[in-house]
Amino acid sequence: MKLMSMPRAAVLTAAVTAAFIAAPAAASAAACNPPAKRGEVAHVNYSGMKSQLFCFGPITIKPGQNTIEFPVSKLVPNEDGYITRFDPDLVYTDTNEVPGVDVLHLHHGVWAVNNNFTNPQWAAGEEKTIFQLPRGFGWRSRPTDTVIVNHMIHNLYPAPAHVYLTWRVDFVPLTSPDAASIKRAQTLWLDVAGLKAYPVFDVLRGSGSGGKYTFPDQARGAERRNIGSRHEFTATRDMTLIGTAGHEHPGGLKTELRIKRAGRSDRKLFESIAQYFEPAGAVSWDVAMTATKPSWRVKVKPGDKLAVNATYDTKNASWYESMGIMPVAVYYGSDAGGDDPFVTQPPITGEVTHGHLNENDNHGGKTVTLNDATRLISGASFSSKTLPIKNYVYTQGDLSLGGLQGRPPTVRRGSSITFRNDDSTGNPNTDYVFHTITACKNPCNKDTGIAYPLANGAVQFDSGQLGYGPGFATPTANRKTWSTPKNLPTGTYSYFCRVHPYMRGAIRVTN
C-alpha cells in the first residue's frame, strides 16, 4: 500500500516508525530533579497516590540544533493505574538546572502513548503548562505502554548541550480505594494548523485588525494553505469535556475553543489567555497560559462541532512559524456532570498553572553590544553575488565584525543579494544548523534575550530556516539559499537569525 493512499494519521505513524531512534536511558531521580514551579496549581490528592519523576535522556543537543526527533520511551509507571497530573520540564545533566530560554529551550514536546498520533496524550511548549485533571478523572496507564516523545529542543548557541527532558506525574495505582471512582480521561487534539509534525503559520506585523490577528479566521491568500483539518472536530458520540489549555508562541494572546450545533448560534466554551510576565509585553516565552478551572464541564452531543483559533499581537513584530494548539481532556460518556452549553454558558475564564519561571529572567535589549550598521561606511557591492553564512557569522556585514568585513555589503536597487547557509551539510539526516535572515528594526545591536531582537524591521522580510531536514518532520525550508527582495527601497537594513538571535547583520540598498 502506498503511503499517499493511507489516512493522514496512518501516514504520520508509518513515517515516524521508519524514523525511530534508540531511546536514551532513564536517569535516576537523584541525578535529575527539576525545581518546583513557583505558584503551581494545587495537586488533587487520592489515597495511595504517588508522585513519579521521569527523566528522558541524557539527550545531546548539537550546536545550533533545531530539529524534530521521535525517540521511543518506556518511561511509564510500572503498575496499572491512572495518571492525574502532568508537569514537564528540561534540565542540564551536569548541574540539574533549568537552561535559560535564551540559550536552550523546549520548543515543543508531544507525548504519544502507544503510537497514538491522532490524539497525543500530553504536550508542552516553553510555557510549560501543568496539566492537572479535575477530581475523579485520570489517564489510564499500564506498564506495557510505550511513549513516543516527539521533541524539538532548540540550541540557540554553537556549543553542544546535554539535557534531560522530564515529566513529573501524579499516579493513582489501580489498587488504591479511590481508583474505582476514577473515570478514564482521553485527549482530543485540536490544532489550528492540523495533524502535522510541524503545524505552523506566519503572523505578519500589521495583519488582522486592531493590532490583532486570528488564525484561521483571518487567514488570506497563501496562508490559507496552513489551515489544518483539526481546527474543527465533529463529535460522533456523547462526550464530556473536562479540561483544556492553549499553546502559542511569543506574540500569542489567546486560544479559543468554540462549539457549533446545527440550527443554533455557536458558543464560546473557553479562552486560554496568555498571561505575560515579560516587561515588554507579548513578545517572549515569559508567559503562562490559563487552563480551565476544576469545575469546568461541557456536555457534547453527536453532531456537535468543536473549533479552535489562535490570536496573536501584530503591533510589535511579525511572528514566523507560530502555533495554536488546544489539547482537550475528554470523557466519552454523559454521566460525568456538566451542562449543555446551549442551555448554560460554561465559564470561559480560567487560571494559570504556574507563575514566572526563573529561566526567563534574561530579557535582553538593554546594552549595546554590536556595531550600528546605519553609522558604518558601505562595504563592497554584492549585487547578484552570494553571501555565505559560515561558522554562525554572516561573512560580510556581520555586526560583530570589524574592518572591511563588518561594513554592510551593498546591492543596487532592483537587484538582490543571495545568502547561502554554508553551516548546512546539505544532508537531511545529519544537518543540524539552520539560519534565517529576518528583518529587525535598526540598529538591532543590543544584547540578546528572550525579548530581543524582534522581527520588527521597517520593511518585513524573512528567509525561512535555511538548511535541510527529514521531509515529513522538519522546520526548515529545505534549501540553503535565499535572495533579498528586489523591490527594497534605498537604505540600510538590519537583520538577525531567528534560530540564533545573537547573530546580526546588515545590508545596504543604493542607487
pLDDT digits (tens, 9 = 90+) for 300-341: 999 999 999 999 999 999 999 999 999 999 999 999 999 999
- Does the pLDDT of residue 10 top 50, yes or no? no
Ordered by where they begin, the domains of the chain are: 3-360 (no CATH), 364-511 (2.60.40.420)
Task: Supply the pTM of this predicted model.
Answer: 0.93
How does pLDDT run across 230-271, given as a tens digit for each residue? Answer: 999 999 999 999 999 999 999 999 999 999 999 999 999 999
More confident residue, 312 or 511: 312
- Do residues 390 and 406 make contact, with C-beta atoms less than 8 angstroms apart? no
Whether the CB-CB separation of 416 and 483 falls below 8 Å is answered with yes
- Sign of the alpha-carbon torsion through 187, 225, 427, 398: negative
Residues 6+ apart with CB under 8 A from 273: 253, 254, 289, 290, 349, 350
Strands 239-244 and 298-300: antiparallel
Whether the pLDDT of residue 176 is over 60: the answer is: yes
Nearest to 362 by CA among 461, 448, 271, 290: 448
Task: Write down the pLDDT at residue 11.
Answer: 32
Q: Is the pLDDT of residue 7 over 70?
A: no
Give CA–CA dist 336/140, Å, rounded: 17
- Please tell me the distance from the alpha carbon of residue 205 to that of residue 316, in angstroms, as a whole number: 7
Q: Please state whether beta strands 104-113 and 122-124 pair in parallel, antiparallel, or not at all (unpaired).
A: antiparallel
Alpha-carbon gap, residue 95 to 214, rounded angstroms: 41
Which residue type occupies 360? N
Q: How far is CA 369 from the centre of its chain?
A: 29
**pLDDT beyond 90 at 9:** no
C-alpha cell at 365: 535589549
Cα–Cα distance between 215 and 419 in angstroms, integer?
Answer: 31
2, pLDDT greater than 70:
no
Tens of pLDDT, residues 372-431: 999 999 999 988 789 999 999 999 999 999 999 999 999 999 999 999 999 998 888 888
Residue among 308, 276, 310, 269 nearest 292 (CA) = 269
Residue 73, classed as helix, strand or coil, is strand
- The 8-class DSSP code of residue 29 comes to G
End-to-end Cα, the chain, rounded Å = 58
d(Cα 184, Cα 172) in Å, to the nearest integer?
12
d(CA 287, CA 201): 20
With H, G, I as helix, E, B as strand and everything else as coil, classify residue 12. helix
What are 51's three cell numbers? 508522585
- Whether 14 shows a pLDDT value over 70: the answer reads no
**Percent of the chain topping pLDDT 90:** 88
Rounded CA-CA distance 19/320 in Å is 27
Contact 389/422 with Cβ under 8 angstroms?
Answer: yes
Instruction: State what percent of residues in the chain have pLDDT above 70.
Output: 94
